[in-house]
Amino acid sequence: MADGKEAILSELENSVKNLQEEAAMEAARKALSAGVSPIDAIEKGLAKGIRQVGEKFERKEMFVVELIYAAEIMSNAIKILEPELRKSKEKRNVLAHVVLGTVAGDIHDIGKNLVRIMLEASGFEVRDIGKDAPIDGFISAAKEMGAEIVGASSLMTTTVSVQKEVVDALRSGGIEAPLMVGGAAVTEAWAKEIGAVYSSDAGSAVSVAKSLVGKGG
C-alpha cells in the first residue's frame, strides 16, 4: 500500500509537471480508490508538480500558457478529489488566504490573473474578486475568507488612487491584513505613500506574499 501510495503521488506530480490532463484525472481517481488522503494527493502530488512548473516559468524555461494549463489540470484534478476533501477533517495547508482584484474603474486584468495563478501555484488560496471590483468587495471578501493578505491591481494613473481607498476601507473596517499592490501605474514610492507593499511582477508578488506571512521570500 505504501508503495502504491508513493506511486500515485508521483503520478499526480508528474502529470501536472508534464501537462498531461488525462493522466492527472486518472491519478486522482486512483488516489480516491486507493484511499490516499485528498490533502496528501494535493500537497504531496499535484502541488509539487505545479510548483515545478512555476519555477520553470520563472526561469523562462516554460511559457505562461503552460503554467496556466498546468493550473487548470490541477484544479480539474482537485474537482475529482473534492467529495473526499469535504468529508476530510484535515485542512489544506495553504500558505495564506489572499483576496485579489483589479480596482474599481479599471478593467485591466491580465496581470492580476497571472498573479493569481502564480500565487495559487505557490500554495496560496486566492479569492479572485475580478476586475472593476468595488471597494466593498475587497472588504467583504477579506472578512469572509479571513484573508491574511489583500491584493489590488491597477494599471491606470486614474485608478491608482483607488488603492488608497482600499487600504483606508480595510483599516476602518478593522482588517489588519497588509495590502499588496501592483500593475503598470503603480510604483514603489506610491505603495509606501499609502502604506501598502509593492511588487513589480507575478514572480515577485509570490516572494512578497511569502515574506508578508513570514514564510520566507
Partner 1 sequence: MAFGIKRGVRFQILSESDFDRIHWGTLHILEKVGVQVDSVACRKLLKDNGCEVDESKRIAKIPSHLVEEALSKKKTSITLAARDPKYDAKLDLDHSYMTANGNGAVAVDFETGERRPSTKKDVADSSRIIDYLQNVHIHWPMVSSTDKHPSVVHLHDLDASMSNTQKHIMYETGVTLSDAKHLTEIGYIAAGGEKEFRHRPIHSCLQCTYAPLQHDAGVMDASLYFAEHGVPLVFFGMPQPGATGPVTLVGSLVVGNAEVLSALVMTQLHAPGSAVIYGMGNAPLDMRTTIRAGGSPEHAISSAIATELAHYYGMPSCVGVSATAKVPGDQAVLEYYTGCVGPLLAGADLMCGVGLLEDSSCLFYEQIVIDNEIVGSIARLIRGEWADDDTMALDIIEKVGVGKNFLAQKHTMQHLRAGEHFMPDLIDRRSFDAWSASGSKSLVDKAREKTRWILENHRVPPLDADTQKRVDAVIEKAKKPMWGGETKRD
Residue 209 CB partners (closer than 8 Å, separation 6+):
95, 96, 98, 119, 122, 124, 149, 151, 180, 217
Nearer to partner 1, 37 or 200 (CB): 200
Minimum distance, C-beta of residue 61 to partner 1, in the bound complex (Å): 9
**Footprint of partner 1 on 172-191 (CB under 8 A):** 184-185, 187, 189
**Footprint of partner 1 on 111-150 (CB under 8 A):** 111, 114, 135
Cβ 125 vs Cβ 93: under 8 Å: no
Q: Phi first, then psi: what are they for 102, rounded to 5°? A: -95, 135
Which amino acid type is present at position 206?
V
Cβ 34 vs Cβ 8: under 8 Å: yes
Q: How far is the C-alpha of 179 from the C-alpha of 151, rounded, in Å?
A: 6
Residue 79 CB partners (closer than 8 Å, separation 6+):
none
Q: How far is the C-alpha of 208 from the C-alpha of 167, rounded, in Å?
A: 17
128 binds ligand B1M (CB under 6 A): no
Q: How far is the C-alpha of 28 from the C-alpha of 72, rounded, in Å?
A: 14
105 binds partner 1 (CB under 8 A): yes
Select from 22, 60, 176, 216 the one that contacts partner 1 (CB under 8 A).
60
Give which of ligand B1M, partner 1, none residue 1 binds (C-beta under 5 to 8 Å, depending on kind).
none
DSSP characters for 78-107?
Answer: HHHHHHHHHH-SS----S-EEEEEEBTT--
Minimum distance, C-beta of residue 19 to partner 1, in the bound complex (Å): 14
Select from 93, 158, 188, 217 the one that contacts partner 1 (CB under 8 A).
158
**Footprint of ligand B1M on 146-185 (CB under 6 A):** 151-153, 155-158, 180-185
Residues that bind ligand B1M (CB under 6 A): 100, 105-112, 114-115, 151-153, 155-158, 180-185, 199, 201-202, 205
Residues that bind partner 1 (CB under 8 A): 60, 63-65, 104-105, 107, 110-111, 114, 135, 157-158, 160-162, 164-165, 168, 184-185, 187, 189, 201-202
